[in-house]
Amino acid sequence: MKKLLLLITAAVFIFGSCSTEFNPNDEWKETMVVYGLLDQDCDTTWIRIQKCFLGEGNAYDYAHIMDSSCYAEDELEVKIVEWFAEEREGMMQKTSQTGREFEFAYTMLDNKPEGTFFAPQQPIYYCRTKDKFIPDIDRIYELRILNRKTGVCVTSETFIIGSGIEVTKPDNRFQFNQGNPNNRTAIVKWKVDDKKIARVFQPVVRFFYLEGTEGNMEVKYVDIEGSVQRNSNNSTYMQGSFTRTNFGAQLKEKIGPIANENIIRTILDSVQIYIYAGDETLSNYMSISAPPNTIVQERPTFSNINGGLGIFASRRTQIKSTKDTPPDINSEYKKFLKSLDLGF
């Protein structure tokens, strides 16, 4: 959920950004800003909905007023409609509704970080969807948002990423045993059968350890993120890598030094490898939203929301495989972890 909310915050900055062609004296037109990701592995689907705002004076002042960019609790009707689909002229298109709809409820969270926009409260719409989405290419999920007061309606649609993604390497143990002797690399490989929908991937290693005091130890973990990989060539096999230098830097940042001398930390002898997958819509959004490597400031705004701005796409977060690590305390892997001065 933390990652989702960070992505939502980024989306608000992008979709609410200014353009040199904007006329502040134009008549205000209601424009919904929508951000939502379908993930069949998650218990709950969250949809963030705001509205563009216009007014005289400093825009940053308006950004800190919730009413300027948020809808009232009873103002919107939010739902996802499931459709059958079939291929027509080389594209999967909706044919008829399956009869299943998912109604979203309004709630107010209080965990938004401080920033340009109001905080810590943030309204969001949710629906319990665990095991309800069908990961099949002959299903299309259509998002419909209706403003009950003004009649403004926006729509978008997406497929669900299937189960055809499998971690193939490492075969048994996760360890740094390839490449430069001064900065060994661990390779993660995965097989992709769902190439029609899954287009962007990120490998993540979940590192487990024990922390606490003698007789009162607790299992904890941090996620070490690999680089994003885009499957632009429809490849069946893909891979990512984790260098010791980057792996250690993320561990030091996310775990930090021991708070006091009574705290004990112990390495556990296994990790979990996750392959996070996103559809082509999410891949395109990430490409356009990435920091520019040019001095040119004008950038296109990506949106697949009909009648509004934002993104409605699919991802998967539970493609995982558990791998052992070298159990020998004198192994290169254990020596590397101890060298980080984290108390292991």
Smallest CA-to-CA distance from 282 within 262, 257, 303 is with 303
* Co-location of 148 and 56 in the same domain: yes
| C-alpha span between 205 and 306 (Å, rounded) | 37
320, pLDDT greater than 80: yes
* Co-location of 197 and 324 in the same domain: yes
Residue with more model confidence, 1 or 39: 39
* Co-location of 139 and 38 in the same domain: yes
- Residues 6 or more apart whose CB falls under 8 angstroms from that of 31 comprise 51, 52, 308, 309
Query: Structural domain tally of the chain?
Result: 2
* Co-location of 27 and 149 in the same domain: yes
The reply to whether 190 falls in a domain is yes
Instruction: Say if CB 201 and CB 231 are below 8 A apart.
Output: yes
Supply the mean pLDDT for the chain. 83
311, two tokens: 């993104």
Residue with more model confidence, 55 or 185: 185
* Co-location of 173 and 42 in the same domain: no
* Co-location of 201 and 130 in the same domain: no
Average pLDDT of the residues in 299-306 = 84
Q: Residue 13 CA to chain centroid, in angstroms?
A: 16
* Co-location of 44 and 14 in the same domain: yes
Instruction: Say if CB 244 and CB 184 are below 8 A apart.
Output: yes
Determine the pLDDT at residue 179.
Answer: 83
Residue with more model confidence, 119 or 283: 283
Q: Quote the percentage of the chain above a pLDDT of 70.
A: 81
User: pLDDT, tens digit, for every residue of 238-261?
Assistant: 999 999 999 999 999 999 998 888
User: pLDDT, tens digit, for every residue of 138-165?
Assistant: 899 999 999 999 999 999 999 988 878 8
Q: Which of 160, 187, 210 is the last residue of a domain?
A: 160
Determine the pLDDT at residue 215.
Answer: 87
Determine the pLDDT at residue 107.
Answer: 92
User: pLDDT, tens digit, for every residue of 193-240?
Assistant: 866 788 899 999 999 999 999 889 999 999 999 999 998 888 899 999
Domain span holding position 268: 165-276+318-338
8, pLDDT greater than 90: no
* Co-location of 260 and 333 in the same domain: yes
Average pLDDT of the residues in 176-187 = 88
User: pLDDT, tens digit, for every residue of 282-296?
Assistant: 998 888 877 666 665
* Co-location of 212 and 334 in the same domain: yes
Q: How confident is the model at residue 51 (pLDDT cuts 50, 70, 90)?
A: confident
Q: How confident is the model at residue 181 (pLDDT cuts 50, 70, 90)?
A: confident
Least confident of 4-13, 30-39, 103-112: 4-13
Residue with more model confidence, 41 or 211: 211
| C-alpha span between 143 and 156 (Å, rounded) | 5
* Co-location of 28 and 152 in the same domain: yes
272, pLDDT greater than 80: yes
Q: Quote the percentage of the chain above a pLDDT of 90.
A: 53
* Co-location of 222 and 156 in the same domain: no
